[in-house]
C-alpha cells in the first residue's frame, strides 16, 4: 500500500500492484489504484482492516465527509436529547416544589 495522505484525520492509502498480486489468489476485492480509508485511530493500517474503500481520492473524501456529517448530526441529536431530559427533570422538580409549598401553606392556614 502506498500512503496518499490524510483527510479529516482519516488515513488514505492506495492499493498497488503488489497488494493485488498477494490478494488475487484469494479472490481479491481490491482494484488497482483504489483508495483504502482507515479510521484516525488506526496506528498501523493493514490490508483487510480498512474502514471503507473509494475508487479515487475524491470519492474517499466524499465518503469521509458523509460520515462526518452523520456523526455531527448524531452528536447534535444526542445533545438535544440531553437538554430535553434536563428540562424535563427541572419541570418535575418545580412541580414537586410547588406541591410541597402548597402543602406547607395549607398546614399553616389550619
Q: Between residues 12 and 28, which one has the greater pLDDT?
A: 12
pLDDT at position 29: 72
CA distance to 15, 32, 45, 51, 68, per residue, from 29 (Å) = 11, 10, 17, 14, 25
pTM: 0.61
Using one digit for the tens of pLDDT, what is the confidence trace for 16-60?
877 666 555 555 678 888 999 999 989 999 988 999 999 999 999
Amino acid at each position: 500500500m502506498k500512503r496518499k495522505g490524510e483527510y479529516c484525520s482519516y488515513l488514505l492509502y492506495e492499493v498497488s500492484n503488489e497488494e493485488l498480486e498477494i490478494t488475487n489468489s484469494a479472490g481479491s476485492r481490491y482494484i488497482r489504484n483504489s483508495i483504502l480509508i482507515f479510521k484516525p485511530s488506526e496506528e498501523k493500517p493493514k490490508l483487510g482492516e480498512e474502514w471503507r474503500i473509494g475508487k479515487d481520492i475524491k470519492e474517499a473524501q466524499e465518503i469521509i465527509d458523509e460520515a462526518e456529517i452523520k456523526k455531527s448530526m448524531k452528536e447534535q441529536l444526542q445533545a438535544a436529547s440531553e437538554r430535553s431530559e434536563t428540562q424535563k427533570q427541572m419541570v418535575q422538580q418545580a412541580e414537586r416544589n410547588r406541591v410541597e409549598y402548597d402543602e406547607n401553606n395549607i398546614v399553616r392556614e389550619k
